[in-house]
Structure 1
Amino acid sequence: MAVRVFMYAQDNRGLGHVRRCAIVAEALLRRRPDAAVLLATKSPWAPTIAAGERFDVLKLPEHLARGTLSGDERRAESSALHRLRRVLLREAVTHFRPDLILIDNEPLGFRGEMLEALDAAPAGCRFAFGMRDVVDDPERTVEQWANQGVPDALRERFDRIVIYGHPDLFDTLGVYGVPAPVRAKAAYGGYVCARRDDLDAGRFRAELGLDGRPLVLVTGGGGEDALALLVATIEAHALVRSPARLLLVTGPFMRPEDRARVVALAAPAGHVVRDQADVVAAMAASQAVATMGGYNTLAEAMMLGRRPVVVPRATHKREQLMRAEAFAARGLVHCLPPTKVTPALLAAALEDEIERPTAVEAHDYLDVDGERAAALLLETLA
């Protein structure tokens, strides 16, 4: 009997949740060729996903005229679009009639926008929550979830919780105080990443014209808040004794004025600046990696056996810092505290990796190609 899976991924200016959902969707389709997957998300990147003819994307609206609106007008538009997304999600579930609904990262959707969709699910539909290893600051997360009614929903509505992480690296259930009745539904699947059998480091380096020079990859995920890392690495490069060249990946969501600044700073030293790049291929071809603490980049680094230099996001959100510290405790990353990093500290860390590269063994922590997550999800339909 054909299986229909409805996925919801909350991504605005990032790539992580949608990329993870796409990997899991492909795994589900490999295991169940009769399945069909519909992914609903605001991410502008999602429509580019090529996961086969039994996969499609419902692009949810985010902002239509933000740049031309006043503060009150923006708030009114945001409220109107939120109501529209609730209707779209409800109608999609009503007519798609899924056997399984998988919600990523926010159990009830952004500001509860999946609640009506859950109520509209057909009889017998199973609900699953895909939980990232680190959500955010534990106290803040527990308080927010309590205010949103998440604990009751996880206990009463959801059949399965798949944690995209490994308890030996980060004890997600313990850190967030998940109660026993909910823990019974939870299972760790591992850090989701996509296998790559097509990597050719030599060809990648030749395309950049490195002529034997070491390559340092600098990437900040989607790029919306990556400017500080890229600028700091350019400044640090001047202190590195090695004749390394930087590949600076700004990301698709970096503001044009920020990208222009990166290009101007990078030009004198001949560094390469790209909006987007095959980050996994670049990582495989590089001698050192500087990045923030995003989920996907660190999972990909583990897959390649690389130890990146990590400068986590320096905001009120602690997710990246918490992940980087947990990985550093296992020797998987070189973590530099974002509030204390200097060009000299960053240069020393990069030079250490260039001259004495550290290979890490981390495959036990991984869920390559999302196979474990897919198996755990399909168990809910048995």
Structure 2
Amino acid sequence: MVRRFEDARILMYSHDTFGLGHLRRCRAIAHALVEDYSGLQVLIISGATIAGAFDYRARVDFVKIPSVIKLRNGEYTSLDRHIDLHETLKMRQSIIRSTAETFKPDIFIVDKEPMGLRGEVEDTLTYLKMHGTRLVLGLREIMDAPHLLEEEWKRRDTMRKIEQFYDSIWVYGPPDFYDPLVGLDVPAAVRDRMNFVGFLQRSVPHDGLPDHKPEGDYILVTTGGGGDGAELIHNVIHAYQQDPSLKHDALVVLGPYMPAKQRNKLIRKGSRIPFIKIIEFDNRMEELVAGARGVVSMGGYNTYCEILSFDKPALIVPRLQPREEQLIRARRASELGLVDMLLPHEAEDPLRFAEALRALPQRAAPSRNKNGLRLEGLVHISETVGAWLDHRSKEHLSVVKQTS
């Protein structure tokens, strides 16, 4: 039964510099919360250039901050090359703080980057903590290789600041799949605030819009945002070129951040193969995953959740840099028998890749091996938020009674 909270507000922060993962994760959480609680409003602060290309449910909206893009070497630059990065970050920081002051959230949820991009939310965290807002850090179940994360966080004094600011830490995965802080020196106070909520289940939206997934059987090839996905798509096309017996229909989604030169080249190459259809972007990926016989991807967090949610055979070719997150996730899921995996250099062998693609639709679905299939994240988050808001309502009622 839907519960009602009068004028409850949640602010979410999604820095979004390279792909779509952060925004899509925030959006999934926001939609689940407003579905469970009427009267609740959720506002997402996002740096994604295409934040407006997605549909949002009633009582979910977004504030767009100037975009910063992450280069393949891990460095950042302003999307508008005419604006200095430092100026862009100052604008972002100012908008984030002003939004928090005006919106006055009961809960502030920060996705993945504890202090935001280059520390841009630290000022806002300080302000909201002084005003009694509950501060939540949401972490992917895998952040990066421990030695890389440790080096990055030590340089920024991140662990101390997490302990200083955050009331709760949500890990978006089950505890027996992976620990995002494994190998790090984690204070007991931080460990005590960690809650492994589980993977975030996805579903096909029931919004009354016409079904737009392709007819017939197809395997889906997706690179997420696509900024570093050209190599995977090239290898898929090459496999079809070199193995004429590979005749599965393939729907390829390039991703909106794939550079234009690479995108145009792949579209030309793919158009010569009758079994391949290429599109640039789809804002309803859940439908495409749900309709596929199998999924080929780089194994980012959201795609992995969709693979599990819709119980699809999957072949993962993870990226190896600048972060090792996808590699760690693919290896762990492969160990549990949930997916098949090829390393990038293995996928460069067209005949080996073709063999893996051919076998994909016959692969057992993840549900055949129950390990790691607890998709309880949205349910657990909703229960937690409901308990917090219920406590807030009782406190407010008590104050009203005392002053009346």
Counterpart in the other structure of 2:155 = 147
Separation of aligned partners in 1, 2:191 and 2:247: 51
Moved over 6 A (4+): none
Residue segments in structure 2 that go unaligned for 5+ positions in a row? 1-5, 70-76, 392-404
Counterpart in the other structure of 2:259 = 255
Indicate conservation of the 8 Å contact 1:160/1:380, yes or no: no
Q: Secondary structure at the match of 1:120?
A: helix
Separation of aligned partners in 2, 1:176 and 1:193: 28
Counterpart in the other structure of 1:115 = 122
User: Which structure 2 residues correspond to residues 92-107 of structure 1 after superposition, within 5 A?
Assistant: 92-107=99-114
Quick check: 1:225 aligned with 2:233?
no
Q: Which has the higher contact order (CA 8 A, sep 6+)?
A: 1
Match of 1:306 among 289, 312, 319: 312
TM-score for the superposition, normalised by structure 2? 0.84
Instruction: For residues 154-213 of structure 1, give each alpha carbon's deviation from its aligned partner in whole angstroms, at most 9, with x where no partner exists.
Output: 2121111111111222123435453321111111111113222769xx98443xxx5xxx
Quick check: 1:77 aligned with 2:84?
yes
Residue identity (%): 28
- Cα gap change, 1:267/1:75 in structure 2, threshold over 3 Å: closer, same or farther? closer
Q: Secondary structure at the match of 2:345?
A: coil
Quick check: 1:267 aligned with 2:275?
no
The offset of 1:89, in angstroms, is 1.1
The offset of 1:241, in angstroms, is 2.4
Counterpart in the other structure of 2:290 = 284
Quick check: 1:332 aligned with 2:341?
no
Instruction: For residues 47-70 of structure 1, give each alpha carbon's deviation from its aligned partner in whole angstroms, at most 9, with x where no partner exists.
Output: 244333322211001259xxxxx9
- Cα gap change, 1:219/1:19 in structure 2, threshold over 3 Å: closer, same or farther? same
Match of 2:144 among 136, 152, 157: 136
- Cα gap change, 1:328/1:84 in structure 2, threshold over 3 Å: closer, same or farther? same
Q: Secondary structure at the match of 1:79?
A: helix
- Cα gap change, 1:91/1:286 in structure 2, threshold over 3 Å: closer, same or farther? closer
Q: Secondary structure at the match of 2:7?
A: coil
Instruction: For residues 214-273 of structure 1, give each alpha carbon's deviation from its aligned partner in whole angstroms, at most 9, with x where no partner exists.
Output: 522211001111110001011112326242122111111111211111111111212211
Indicate conservation of the 8 Å contact 1:160/1:377, yes or no: no
Separation of aligned partners in 2, 1:376 and 1:173: 22
Quick check: 1:365 aligned with 2:369?
no
Quick check: 1:6 aligned with 2:14?
no
The offset of 1:37, in angstroms, is 1.4
Indicate conservation of the 8 Å contact 1:224/1:254, yes or no: yes
Match of 1:320 among 319, 326, 337: 326
- Cα gap change, 1:147/1:32 in structure 2, threshold over 3 Å: closer, same or farther? same
Separation of aligned partners in 2, 1:115 and 1:62: 19
Counterpart in the other structure of 1:67 = none
Counterpart in the other structure of 1:343 = 350
Counterpart in the other structure of 1:237 = 240
Separation of aligned partners in 2, 1:218 and 1:189: 29
TM-score for the superposition, normalised by structure 1? 0.88
The offset of 1:148, in angstroms, is 1.7
Counterpart in the other structure of 2:396 = none
Residue segments in structure 1 that go unaligned for 5+ positions in a row? 65-69
Indicate conservation of the 8 Å contact 2:225/2:255, yes or no: yes
Quick check: 1:296 aligned with 2:302?
yes
